[in-house]
């Protein structure tokens, strides 16, 4: 495959201005395998470079070059626009193959086409990294239940069918959605150690799993929701780079473990000493041994009413590997990304976590902000999640039976920050009339501001006699602060596709 054919396959943009639209320039009839071949094909129309030459181009001042397959790419102009620019710079002047071997969401027609548009040369054959030279970081992944529907396999990210969620107030461990950013680490509990550091006092220590068991065991029932839950609905407004989550990247469980505030007191932190943050690092790492990381405000961590746990049990069972074995953080009411799994280190600091996932991800922006104008430093990291609801059954496209003039609808509702769900409203006539759902199961909580669990609900929606064809059923939840869901995803669209909490809508066909 020569350069002319490669360019025809990829329809390479001829200028930097064209590259802005390169997401849309790849030929629709070209397979992913054919596009991959371009990166393993020597371009006879381009010069050859050695790795010794490429390594000199590792900063904006010298140009940022990377290699992938046999290709050499100048991505200097692209790096500032990439949400993971800090991760990209780790590969500057070198190969991105090891990174993309882990971050396999890049192996798409869209991304590979964009990369090829920045190609400037070929890598000398002796310097090319072969797939056989790369350790397979996914070889030790755990088995998963087949009911889970993967959005990606490497890393593994999957959710159950929405109808499963309303079958039980506590989501079975095997059916709980899985959100992994990196390969699942294999942890030996006999040698497990949790590092603790208080930057304010300079105190540090290491505790073992047996030490954690010495603390009084607390149990909290709490819902965890991925920040990208329902992103697929937001994608219907405009394309978004991210996993196409449906409404099931959420689950509710009983979590048991030591309270974080109790453990931090032994590190010299006191209630009232609330200025600062608690950083968490996981044992899951990227090719540079950088761990997944996140942080929460120290005030949340130290408040006994915040119910933050260092959890080692889920629904009365030891955590399984996908859910953080042997220890994870549970931060009730807060976005799932702060509930760090496979906990390896805790740092009490004056600063937020500096990790990519705290600084350059899980933040929301105006619908008019795009990748050319976004500045992640201007937005706060998501903590408490907004009020939301989702219709779990029936599903869009189903044919439903009208019984006694009604259609039965079931779903969940939840609000972050400990707010209680007080009402769920549904309509099937465009908002002319609304039906209030019956809240079937809700956690009573342990006081105001400590309602950490979802509410499952059922509604019987009236359908006019003689109704034929499709109808759209809509739900919206209201919490104890009288916050309600926005009507449209168009008004809350954001380039990361997070905090998607617009009205839930399903279109169904009715039968008598």
Q: Which of 9, 68, 362, 412 is catalytic?
A: 362
H or E, element range at 299: helix 298-302
Active-site annotation holds for 106: yes
**CA dist., res. 91 & res. 74, Å (int):** 12
Q: Are strands 438-442 and 455-462 parallel, antiparallel or unpaired?
A: antiparallel
Tokens of 43: 């371009």
Active-site annotation holds for 39: no
**CA dist., res. 106 & res. 439, Å (int):** 42
Judge contact between 109 and 39, C-beta under 8 A.
no
Judge contact between 124 and 48, C-beta under 8 A.
yes
**CA dist., res. 123 & res. 97, Å (int):** 13
Residue from 26, 24, 29 nearest 7 by CA: 26
Q: Which of 226, 231, 312, 496 is catalytic?
A: 226
**CA dist., res. 487 & res. 503, Å (int):** 5
Judge contact between 506 and 396, C-beta under 8 A.
yes
Active-site annotation holds for 362: yes
H or E, element range at 234: helix 231-234
Tokens of 491: 């008004």
Q: Which of 7, 19, 82, 218 is catalytic?
A: 82
Judge contact between 314 and 254, C-beta under 8 A.
yes
**CA dist., res. 500 & res. 367, Å (int):** 12
**CA dist., res. 448 & res. 443, Å (int):** 12
Category of 307 on φ-ψ map: left (φ > 0), alpha (ψ -120 to 50) or beta = left
CA atoms within 13 A on the CB side of 418: 13
Q: Return the HEC string of 101-126.
A: HHCHHHCCHHHHHHHHCCEEEEECHH
Active-site annotation holds for 392: no
Q: Which of 119, 179, 323, 338 is catalytic?
A: 179
**CA dist., res. 76 & res. 62, Å (int):** 9
Active-site annotation holds for 323: no
Q: Which residues contact 279 (CB under 8 A, 6 or more apart)?
A: 293, 294, 295, 345, 346, 347, 348, 349, 352, 353
Q: Are strands 309-314 and 317-318 parallel, antiparallel or unpaired?
A: antiparallel
Q: Which of 7, 11, 19, 106 is catalytic?
A: 106
Q: Which residues contact 204 (CB under 8 A, 6 or more apart)?
A: 195, 196, 197, 198
Residue from 124, 178, 131, 128 nearest 156 by CA: 178
Residues carrying an active site annotation: 82, 106, 179, 226, 362
């Amino acid at each position: 495959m020569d350069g002319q054919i490669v360019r025809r396959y990829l329809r390479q943009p001829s200028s930097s201005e064209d590259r802005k639209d390169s997401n849309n320039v790849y030929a629709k009839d070209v397979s992913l395998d054919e596009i991959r071949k371009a990166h393993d094909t020597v371009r006879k129309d381009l010069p050859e470079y050695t790795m010794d030459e490429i390594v000199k181009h590792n900063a904006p001042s010298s140009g940022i070059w990377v290699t992938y397959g046999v290709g050499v790419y100048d991505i200097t102009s692209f790096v500032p626009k990439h949400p993971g620019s800090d991760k990209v710079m780790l590969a500057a002047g070198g190969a991105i193959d090891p990174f993309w071997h882990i971050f396999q969401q890049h192996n798409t027609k869209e991304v590979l086409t964009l990369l090829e548009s920045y190609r400037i040369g070929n890598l000398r054959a002796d310097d090319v990294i072969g797939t056989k030279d790369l350790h397979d970081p996914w070889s030790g992944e755990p088995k998963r239940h087949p009911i889970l529907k993967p959005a990606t396999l490497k890393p593994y990210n999957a959710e159950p069918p929405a109808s499963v969620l309303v079958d039980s107030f506590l989501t079975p461990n095997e059916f709980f959605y899985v959100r992994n950013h990196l390969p699942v680490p294999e942890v030996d509990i006999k040698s497990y150690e949790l590092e603790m550091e208080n930057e304010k006092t300079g105190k540090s220590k290491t505790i073992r799993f047996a030490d954690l068991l010495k603390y009084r065991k607390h149990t909290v029932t709490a819902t965890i929701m991925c920040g990208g839950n329902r992103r697929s609905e937001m994608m219907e407004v405009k394309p978004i780079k991210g996993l196409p989550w449906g409404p099931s990247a959420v689950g509710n469980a009983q979590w048991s473990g030591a309270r974080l505030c109790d453990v931090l007191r032994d590190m010299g932190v006191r209630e009232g000493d609330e200025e600062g943050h608690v950083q968490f690092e996981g044992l899951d790492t990227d090719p540079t041994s950088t761990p997944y990381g996140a942080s929460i405000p120290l005030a949340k961590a130290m408040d006994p009413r915040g119910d933050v746990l260092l959890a080692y049990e889920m629904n009365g069972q030891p955590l399984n590997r996908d859910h953080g074995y042997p220890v994870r953080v549970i931060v009730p009411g807060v976005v799932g990304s702060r509930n760090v799994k496979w906990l390896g280190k805790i740092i009490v600091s004056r600063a937020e976590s500096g990790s990519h996932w705290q600084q350059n991800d899980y933040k929301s922006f105006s619908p008019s902000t795009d990748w050319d104008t976004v500045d992640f430093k201007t937005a706060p990291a998501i903590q408490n999640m907004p009020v939301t609801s989702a219709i779990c059954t029936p599903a869009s496209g189903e044919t439903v039976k009208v019984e006694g003039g009604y259609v039965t609808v079931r779903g969940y509702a939840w609000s972050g920050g400990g707010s209680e769900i007080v009402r769920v409203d549904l309509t099937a006539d465009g908002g002319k009339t609304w039906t209030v759902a019956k809240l079937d199961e809700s956690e009573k909580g342990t006081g105001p501001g400590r309602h950490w669990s979802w509410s499952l609900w059922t509604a019987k929606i009236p359908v006019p006699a003689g109704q034929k064809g499709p109808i759209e059923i809509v739900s919206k939840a209201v919490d104890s602060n009288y916050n309600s869901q926005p009507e449209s995803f168009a008004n809350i669209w954001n380039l990361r596709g997070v905090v998607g909490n617009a009205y839930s809508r399903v279109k169904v066909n009715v039968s008598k």
